[in-house]
Amino acid sequence: MSKQYYTWAKSYKSKAQGMLDAINNHEKLPLVGMRNGKPAPDKQMTIKWADGLTEWVDTRFGFQKIPDEVLDKMGITQEERDAMIAAFKPRIDNAEDRPLTVQQQYAIDNPSEF
């Protein structure tokens, strides 16, 4: 399955940032790395889900959707997931349906800088 993204129109950038902040500051983060299905504190930890929002050339903002398997491991219930979606109202897009990000388009338009 391809990656999915929570996305919002440009006019709702504050909702996008609000949802990302709610996720990054959730009590279940940081996630401790796992080894053979058991917590392994020496493994890499997920401190926050994303550093910031992605902007696409179609002026939408968003970030990668957390896979259901990760939410299950975190112990996030379906009710909590539904409440988050209801509060922030993102659209869920598949990665292959998204246009280029602003950064990708800039690299294409300015190859000598890379």
Q: With contact defined as beta carbons under 8 Å apart, do 14 and 89 qualify?
A: no
Q: With contact defined as beta carbons under 8 Å apart, do 33 and 44 qualify?
A: yes
Question: Residue 30's closest CA among 67, 79, 73, 63?
Answer: 73
Query: What is the arithmetic mean of pLDDT over 96-108?
Result: 86
pLDDT at 4 over 90: yes
pLDDT at residue 25 in the model: 85
Band of the pLDDT at 82, cuts 50, 70, 90?
Answer: very high
pLDDT at residue 71 in the model: 87
Query: What is the arithmetic mean of pLDDT over 20-37?
Result: 76
**More confident call, 13 vs 45:** 13
Per-domain residue ranges of the chain? 4-113
